[in-house]
Every structure is written in C-alpha cells, then in structure tokens.
Amino acid sequence: MKKPIEFKIEKKLPGTLGRAGTITTPHGVIHTPAFIAVGTKASVRALTTDMLLGLGVEAVLANTYHLYMQPGEELIRKMGGLQKMMNWNGPTFTDSGGFQVFSLGAGYGSNVSKVLKDMTAVPLITDAKDEREDAKPKLVQIDYDGAAFKSPLDGSIHFITPERSMEIQHTIGADIIFAFDECTSPAESRSYQREALDRTHRWGKRSLEYHRSKEISERQALFGIVQGGRYEDLRKESAQVIGAMDFDGFGIGGSFDKEDLYTAVKWVNEILPEDKPRHLLGIGEPEDMFEGVENGCDSFDCVAPTRLARHGTLYTKTGKIHISNAQYTGDLGPIDEGCLCYACKNYSRAYLCHLHKSREMVGPMLCSIHNLYFIVNLVKKMRETIIDGTFMDFKKEFLSRYRS
C-alpha cells in the first residue's frame, strides 16, 4: 500500500528523545521540529496565505468541527477542498473534532483550559453529578458510539462518530488528519480518565479501519491520538495501545497541568515508534516547545501567537510585553530589537500602541505577523541547533533571557 507521507530523521539530539527530520507530504515538505500555524476556519486570523509564506510557515492546521459547522462539507467540496479554498499550496492538517468534546463539554463556561499553571486552583472533579448553581449546560453529550454536539450557531444537534469524523476530514482533504478522540479536563477524576481513555482507543481503532477502507488513505495520513490525562500508567498504556496500531504518525492530546506536561510527553515518546512523526496538539508557548522538542516531539500547533497578538500581547527575546501599556505610547523602538519580521522592520512600538488603542484593524494584523514570525522561527532555530549540536546551549541562553 502506498504511504501518504514519508518521515526521515536527519539528526538525533544526544542523551534525549529529540530529533530533527522531514515529513514529506503530497503538498510539500515540513522540516521538523516545526510550528504549524492554526487556521481554525481555513484562515489564520488577520493574515493572508502570502503573509504566512513570508513568515516561514510551512504548514497550516484547520479545525474539523468548525469547518463542518461553517461553511459545511458540501460547500468545501465545491470549493475544491482545504488547500484550494484558502489558496494555500503547502501541507495541511485537520484535527478530529475531539478537542470540542472538551471545550464544549467539561471546559464549557469554566476557567479550565488546555494547560493549567496551577492544579491547586482548580478543584478535582468527582464522579458525582455537577449540581453547582453556576454550572453551565454542556453543548456535548458523549456515549459509546460518539459525541452529540449542539451547534452554538443555531442550536441544531449533530452526532459525530469516528467514521463521521473521517468522512468530514476526507472531504476537507488535508494531508494529515487525526483519529477521533476524547480530550478530557486535567481536573477530571481518575475513573473518568480511564473511561475516556478506553473510548479514545476504541474510536482510534474505528477511525483507522474506516480510513484504511478508502482509497484516499493513500493520499491522506492518519495520526492516532494518545490520551491519559496526568496519570503515568494511563499515558503509557495509551502510547502502547495507539502505538501498536498502523497509524502514519501520532498526536499527543489532552489537557495538562503545566508541571506534568513535560513528563507526560516523555512517558509517551519513550514508547511510541521512533520511525513515525509525533505532533503535540495545542501547545505553543516557547518554554513548552523547548521541552517538547527535547522529549521527542516533531511538530506543534497552537492559537496562542495570533490570539495573544489580537489582544496586544507580543513575544520578545526578553519575554512578553503588552503593547497598549502606557510605557509604549512614545516608544520609537521596534517590538523586538533585532527581529527581522515586517512589523519590526517598518513600525515602532508607539505606532502599534496607537493602533491598538484606536482599535484599528491593521494593529492586530501587524502584531500577528510579529508573533507568528517569532514562534515559527524560534522552532526553526531549535531545528538548526539540533543539527549543529548546540541545542542545549541555545535553550539555556534563550530561556535565561526570555524569563527575565
């Protein structure tokens, strides 16, 4: 059977699980480690595809659930699929919709996000029914077969099974797609994590069987997703079960306690097959990606760079700044001294501060250009330093300044 992608390891990082390599897809090569830009609705907000190319972006990830809801499968088919509709000729990913099981379920209306910086700030969910007065009604219900979603657009009910997720992703047509899974809250009880993990394994098997039965599996790669929350035994079990299936690569999913993120990634990647790519879903902070790369992850995606940019938060070599703060009102320097992005080469902090305070649309665009350039090229630098043998020195130097 023809393989839809080819993965090659070019250089390993001694004493760690890290490596630099390439993923060859039908629409081009991804040089790993790589940051994959998130275009949830087939659009990276405020940026055109030409801008993405200029920033060094090699691949884009879109969201299956959101594209299914709007504009819908039929219109996507008529527009020629993901690449054609968004005028992007490079590699593409779509997630499975499994994260919406969390965001519209346990995470809906709460302060629980994908990565918790402090587990003590969030109470552990017990097996008892949540009857708090402030608990919001969930927009998803889960059973053995799949998940029923209530559309936030019009209230209509949609039932997504592993097979249905594959159908939708086949229509969207990305180069790399993901098996349907259940992403859980890091605050969930162990018994529910166990239940959700078994469901994810069953759904993974069904996703793979359906995908392999279709001719398109020769053109689209399917990644299985490892879950298990913050429990070492569940994470390792999931890596063994999913790793034994004939997926083209693997995603590491779920939401984490900040401190557990690094150990969970290592537990998993010590078990997953070395000769297949590993993608860390929804993680994009600089510190987290250094640890992810060192512990064997090949690619990352996250909405953080552009989401933060739209609200005026910018990455710099010495940490994040908030461009609308009063101290930048008359600051004529660039966002980040030495940065070669379009925004830094052409505009001052004072101007960007003015744009954000005036709510001018070009402000979020320029800030998105900078943040995405910063993150994409940071990961490119990680790749370069793995190849030339200076990764550990680069990590130490970067983080010492960034955390200052």
**CA–CA distance, 336 with 343 (Å, rounded to integer):** 10
**CA–CA distance, 114 with 123 (Å, rounded to integer):** 15
- Which residue of the set 257, 288, 298, 301 is catalytic? 301
**CA–CA distance, 352 with 126 (Å, rounded to integer):** 46
**Residue that has been written with the tokens 């469901």 in this structure:** 199
Name the 3-class secondary structure at 177: strand
Q: Residue 25: left (phi > 0), alpha (psi -120 to 50), or beta?
A: beta
**CA–CA distance, 101 with 66 (Å, rounded to integer):** 13
- Which residue of the set 95, 181, 248, 257 is catalytic? 95
- The tally of CA atoms less than 13 A away on the side-chain side of residue 89 is 2
Beta-strand pair 147-150/140-142: antiparallel
Beta-strand pair 19-25/6-12: antiparallel
End-to-end Cα, the chain, rounded Å: 52
Kindly list the distances between the CA atom of residue 43 and the CA atoms of 40, 132, 167, 285, in Å, as whole numbers in the listed order.
6, 38, 21, 21
**Residue that has been written with the tokens 């275009």 in this structure:** 39
Q: Known catalytic residue: 301?
A: yes
Name the 3-class secondary structure at 298: coil
**CA–CA distance, 109 with 191 (Å, rounded to integer):** 23
The alpha helices in 179-285, defined as continuous H runs, are: 190-212, 232-243, 258-269
- The tally of CA atoms less than 13 A away on the side-chain side of residue 127 is 6
Query: Could you tell me if 267 and 232 are in contact, meaning their C-beta atoms sit under 8 angstroms apart?
Result: yes
Query: Could you tell me if 200 and 102 are in contact, meaning their C-beta atoms sit under 8 angstroms apart?
Result: no
Nearest to 299 by CA among 330, 284, 278, 313: 278
Active site residues: 95, 301
